[in-house]
Chain A
Amino acid sequence: SQELEQSPQSLIVQEGKNLTINCTSSKTLYGLYWYKQKYGEGLIFLMMLQKGGEEKSHEKITAKLDEKKQQSSLHITASQPSHAGIYLCGAGLFSGSARQLTFGSGTQLTVLP
């Protein structure tokens, strides 16, 4: 079974709307990484969270890691067509393994102009 569950699998929103993508694990997350991927291209690093309760923002994207370090969310405010792509979460699933990441299956985001 998938060790990192991402939801939803796909998301279609109107430009200007807010949206949230979730990443859940049954195990403690050691180093939670969010990446964005345009189709057919490599992954672009967005943010990394390490501490329980941590929250980081970059432009209109905010990522949070819950206190138990088993769930992370990525929130986009006032979405734009440039936000479209595949969002993947990656995490080390045991201490010392952060350099070996397990990835979720990704969330395909479409933003309609």
Chain B
Amino acid sequence: SQTIHQWPATLVQPVGSPLSLECTVEGTSNPNLYWYRQAAGRGLQLLFYSVGIGQISSEVPQNLSASRPQDRQFILSSKKLLLSDSGFYLCAWVQDGGYNEQFFGPGTRLTVL
């Protein structure tokens, strides 16, 4: 069966510090991968998605970047965090082809102070 992992689960970082959040998927190959951010009381905002290794599409201009160094690994990064980067970050995957549902990881709660 497929599983998706995210770490860390929670993170508190000072403004201006770097960020690296990791997402890995097991039990599947060549998935589409997604990074979402969920601000308090709001829905999900798609940040990045990837259809393959090294292929990243950005949905909104921002202080963040994403990379996909391996087929089942998706990394969200920042060189210098802003207060507005605080939120709940969710990684998701979907098997390519058709209208398959996305499966979500447990999320990372990021607080920037």
Contact = CB atoms under 8 A, between A and B. Distances in A.
Interface of A: 2, 4, 6, 30-31, 33, 35, 40-45, 48, 50, 88, 90, 92, 98-106
Given A42-B106, A43-B104, A90 B99 contact: no
Contact of B90 (A43, A45, A50): A43
B106 A45 contact: no
Main secondary structure of the interface of A (DSSP, over half): strand
Contacts of A44: 104
A42 B45 CA distance: 14
B106 A104 contact: no
A31 B88 CA distance: 25
Contacts, number: 58
24 contacts: A2-B43, A4-B43, A30-B99, A40-B88, A41-B106, A42-B104, A42-B106, A43-B44, A43-B90, A43-B92, A45-B102, A45-B104, A48-B99, A48-B101, A90-B102, A99-B32, A99-B94, A100-B49, A101-B46, A103-B36, A103-B43, A103-B44, A103-B45, A106-B42
Interface string B88-111: 101010101011111111110100
